[in-house]
Chain A
Amino acid sequence: MINGVGRFIPNGMQPFVSSDNFLTKERRLISKKTKQSKTVFLDNIEEVFDVLGIDSNMTISFHHHLRNGDKVIKMVSEEIEKRDIKNLHFAPSSIFPSYTKLVDLIKKGNVNEIHTNYLNGEVAKVISQGYLKGKLVMNTHGGRARAIESGDLSIDVAFIACPVVDKFGNGHGATGKSACGTLGYSISDLEYAKKVVLVTDTVVEKLENYQLDSKFVDYVLIVDSIGDRMGIVSGTTEITKDPIGLKIAKDCANLLNYLGLIRNDFSMQTGAGKTSLAVVKYVEEIMKKNHIIGSFASGGITKAYVGMLEAGLFKQLYDVQCFDLEAVSSFAKNKNHIAMTASEYGNPFEKEPICDKLDFVILGATEIDLDFNVNVTTDSMGNLIGGSGGHADIAYGSNVTIIISPLIKSRIPIIKEKVMTVTTPGSDVDILITERGIAINPKRTDLHEKLANSQFPIFEIAELLEISHKITGVPKKIETNEQIIGYVEYRDGTYLDCIRKVKNGY
């Protein structure tokens, strides 16, 4: 069957219709868990496995707030390997390059199904090569929360790395030796998983403020270390020095300003890439020059936004995960640095998710096509290299969605006739900014009109494609293997695209 973005979806699976089709649906909620007994404290993982009876065919979830520094998923993976439990379903909110133990579990058939929102590194590579026996399902951050609360993604045991836990079993991420800030992605797991284990390396008498309520917590596992918090800063935190990136960022900020989007009480979100950080810097300059005070910035929060909050340029930050240690300490001390759950952030069925209040978002792309569909899930050869994260959530929610990218990366044009994998439907993507020109989605006639008399280099997206082909030559079409290894699930639970096994070599 062909879905709403023109992609094949196998029969029996709900095809994607349109990004606002969820409005015709009712929110489905399973009941939140209720716990009879007091929280039990344990100090070794074997005991946890024994009391929970972790066995084949179960679904086990994790969050990724410690990012590349996480040790909890490794600890659990090693215990699974030791016991050789087969055919498990893993549901980590993201998978990072450091999660190498998972590679062994996949290859040996211990883990056969995976739900996640983002993955890269060795795990992504082996899945692309077809080692996962079952299927991979790629969710959005908001979509994962929806899947869990509706029971579509039913979790048997949630292992939640938690930097500090008190003696009642309440947990928080702001303090403790492995403090990683807000724990936004773990809240659905906490509330809806059949059993919840907080894994911590710091226990205190009593927490006054906490994000994880003990009423959902069955067990607390105390270990030496839940991770290396330095590993949080695994992405880029410095502004780009690349002149092309800077030019794109400057053009982006100028365009936002020209469109009147940088005005009092505006709200924004950007990724944490080097070029996005440059956009933030230029937006900050415009705000200072014109005495603008914004309402909020949201997302994964970086030190750039912390600086703007502290300078009074934004009234609030809504933070689902801290991208660096400056954000972690700001979250711990600044009451206007507010935690949001994945559901509050991007769940389509949430009443007023933060993503819907955004004026504009700045996002990246590995590919974009003539229909403005964006791929951040695979590279142009079909290898898994990322995933939506919040991409599709905020592209839908925000008023103006801008993609920034060089037109050509290492000879590969970013614009394709059709993207390899659809992560975000083109109907939610409004503007593409490259170093050689800007394209506006034809359906945004309002933006076209506003920019008609501007000096910005505006092209049709097909013209930009042609310019890039003149520079690089026309790339050969990539043949993928027909074997489907996974799916891109849209935030409403419908299927946007299939992910196929890669062909090796030329």
Chain B
Amino acid sequence: MFRSLLFIPGNNPSMLQNADVFLADAIIFDLEDAISINEKNNARNLVKNYLLTSSVLPKQIILRVNSINTEWFKKDIELLKTNKINYLLIPKTDKSSLLNIEEYLSAFEKENKLVETKIIALVETARGVNDLPLFAENKRLIALLLGAEDLASDLQIKRTETGEEIFYARSKIIYAAVDHNLIAIDTPYTNINNLEGLLKDATYAANLGMKAKACIHPNQLEVVNKVFSPSEQEIKWAKEVIKISLEKPGSGAFQFQGKMIDKPILDRAEKILVKAKHFNLM
């Protein structure tokens, strides 16, 4: 379960050594876009030795590897041998790239006697968005992350503050995620100094159905965590609904605060409480 995922450039020792302190639910160590071509090996070495020897590590660790069609991909995947990586984030995922990766990973895991690595698909191309219904059922997937900057570039359009241009992609991701029990993760908000803009953007995405948001600066985490956590009122409501439902077992639908409570609403209340417990909000 995530609310916030923080990208950390793999070549930045200051960020690495504080990765466990930031309030992110998961850290994404980036070997791809944040790292220039000349520094790919340097960053990989650093992340590898950090994972192997640091006494303090984040709760959940995600590695963004380079694309499968680059010369760096295979070396990046070697980091799975550290046994510290929970998930891989695969750039420019579409149906065929995911199949290729799955094939490579299966062989790699078998050869190195590793458990099956779960994948977060970074959906950031027109093809990726179109292919969603075709690959979302892949058993390795646990989440879908929208990459709106690359998508906008693929579409040859500008990103806007209000994000109309990515409404379709957001919706596609949310529907595919819900349909296949994956976590829908929203694209980062890129203006790191504008926390009010971030709040608006994250709230909008949450209202559409996103369950988490990627961040590109630690100072964004507090806002994002708040938006994607159940509110105090929601938790209170859910507790009361569950309490009453337990007092009236088998009674089917009942009324609470003037509203009809039936199974879908009970389910929602339960999910709120599970999330609240998971993130220590009760």
> A residues touching B (Cβ–Cβ < 8 Å)?
241, 243-244, 246-247, 250, 408, 435-436, 455, 467, 470-471
**Interface flag for B237 (CB, 8 Å):** no
B83: chain A residues within 8 A (beta carbon): none
Q: Let me know if B22 is at the binding interface, CB within 8 A.
A: yes
Of the A-B pairs whose beta carbons lie under 8 Å apart in the complex, a sample of 6, sorted by A's number, is A243-B217, A244-B18, A247-B21, A250-B222, A436-B21, A467-B56
Contact flags B16-27 to A (C-beta < 8 A → 1, else 0): 011001110000
State the CA gap A243–B219 with chains docked (Å).
Answer: 6
The docked-state distance in angstroms from the alpha carbon of A470 to that of B20 is 14
Tell me the bound Cα distance from A39 to B219 in angstroms.
58
Q: Flag if B219 contacts A246 (CB, 8 Å).
A: yes
Q: Per a CB cutoff under 8 Å, which of B17, B54, B218, B280 touches A243?
A: B218
**A467, B267: Cα distance in complex, Å:** 42
- The answer to whether A241 touches B18, judged by C-beta atoms less than 8 angstroms apart, is no
CB distance from B54 to the nearest CB of A (A): 7
* Alpha-carbon separation in the docked complex, A470 to B280 (Å): 27
Q: Secondary structure of the A side of the interface?
A: helix
- Alpha-carbon separation in the docked complex, A244 to B15 (Å): 10
B257 within 8 A of A: no
- What CA separation (Å) do A467 and B55 show in the bound complex? 8
For window 12-39 of B, CB contacts with A under 8 Å fall at: 17-18, 21-23
Alpha-carbon separation in the docked complex, A250 to B221 (Å): 13
A471 B54 Cβ-Cβ under 8 A: yes
The residues of B that contact A243 with a CB separation of less than 8 Å are 18, 22, 217-219
How distant is the Cα of A400 from the Cα of B23 in the complex, in angstroms?
A: 27
**Neighbouring A residues of B21 by C-beta, 8 Å:** 244, 247, 435-436
If the complex has contacts A435-B18, A435-B21, A436-B21, are A470 and B218 also in contact, measured as CB distance less than 8 A? no
Minimum Cβ distance to chain B for residue A103 (Å): 34
CB A426 to nearest CB in B, in angstroms, measures 26
Rounded to whole angstroms, the CA-CA distance of A467 and B21 in the bound complex is: 13
Contact code string B217-247 (vs A, CB < 8 Å = 1, else 0): 1110010000000000000000000000000
Cα A408 to Cα B56 with chains together (Å): 13
Contacts of B218 in A (CB 8 A): 243
A247 with B55, Cβ < 8 A, contacts A241-B219, A435-B18 known: no
Are B18 and A470 neighbours in the complex by a CB distance under 8 Å? no
Cβ of A246 to closest chain B Cβ, rounded Å: 6
What chain B residues lie within 8 Å of A435 (beta carbons)?
18, 21
The answer to whether A455 and B280 touch (CB under 8 A), given A243-B219, A435-B21, is: yes
B177 CB to closest chain A CB (Å) equals: 29
Please name all residues of chain B whose beta carbon is closer than 8 Å to the beta carbon of A408 when the two chains form the complex.
17
A420 to chain B, nearest CB (A): 24
Complex Cα distance A408/B54, Å? Answer: 14
In the complex, the answer to whether A471 meets B17 with C-beta atoms within 8 Å is yes
Q: How far is the CB of A51 from chain B (nearest CB, A)?
A: 58
In the bound complex, what is the Cα–Cα distance between A222 and B108 (angstroms)?
A: 83
Q: How far is the CB of A185 from chain B (nearest CB, A)?
A: 37
Q: How far is the CA of A408 from the CA of B16 in the complex (A)?
A: 14
Complex-state Cα separation, A470 to B21, whole angstroms: 15
State the Cβ distance, B184 to closest chain A Cβ, in Å. 26
Q: Which residue of B lies closest to A246 (CB)?
A: B219
CA distance A244 to B217 in the complex (A): 12
Chain A min CB distance to B5 (Å): 15
Q: Chain A contacts of B18 at CB under 8 A?
A: 243-244, 435
Q: A436 to chain B: which residues have CB within 8 Å?
A: 21, 56
Distance in angstroms from B236 CB to nearest chain A CB is 18
Q: Name A250's closest neighbour in chain B (CB-CB).
A: B222
A471–B55 CB distance below 8 A: yes
> A415 CB to closest chain B CB, in angstroms?
16
- Nearest CB in chain A to that of B192: its residue: A241
Contacts of A244 in B (CB 8 A): 18, 21
CB distance from A408 to the nearest CB of B (A): 8
Digitize B61-79: 1 where CB-to-A-CB distance is under 8 Å, 0 elsewhere. Answer: 0000000000000000000
Contacts of B56 in A (CB 8 A): 436, 467, 470-471
A244 to B18 Cα, complex, angstroms: 8
> Of B17, B23, B217, which one neighbours A247 at CB under 8 angstroms?
B23
- In the complex, what residue of chain B is closest to A470 when comparing beta carbons? B55
Cα(A436)–Cα(B58), bound, Å:
12
- List 8 tightest A-B contacts by C-beta distance, closest first: A243-B218, A470-B55, A435-B21, A243-B219, A244-B18, A471-B55, A471-B56, A436-B21
A455 to B281, CA, bound (A): 10
Within the complex, the shortest CB–CB distance from A362 to chain B, in Å, comes to 20
Give Cα distance in the complex from A37 to B217, angstroms: 66
Contacts of B17 in A (CB 8 A): 408, 471
Q: What residues on B are CB-neighbors of A467 within 8 Å?
A: 55-56
**B280 — nearest CB in chain A belongs to which residue?**
A455
A8 vs B23: C-alpha distance in the bound complex, in angstroms? 44
Residues in B neighbouring A470, C-beta threshold 8 A: 55-56
CB of A78 to closest CB in B, whole Å? 44
Determine how close the nearest CB of chain B comes to the CB of A183; give it in whole angstroms: 39
A436 to B54 alpha-carbon distance, docked (Å): 15
Known pairs A244-B21, A436-B21, A470-B56; list 18 more (Cβ under 8 Å).
Answer: A243-B217, A243-B218, A243-B219, A244-B18, A247-B21, A247-B22, A247-B23, A408-B17, A435-B18, A435-B21, A436-B56, A455-B280, A467-B55, A470-B55, A471-B17, A471-B54, A471-B55, A471-B56
What distance in Å separates the Cβ of B9 from its nearest Cβ neighbour in chain A? 14
Q: How far is the CB of B258 from chain A (nearest CB, A)?
A: 30
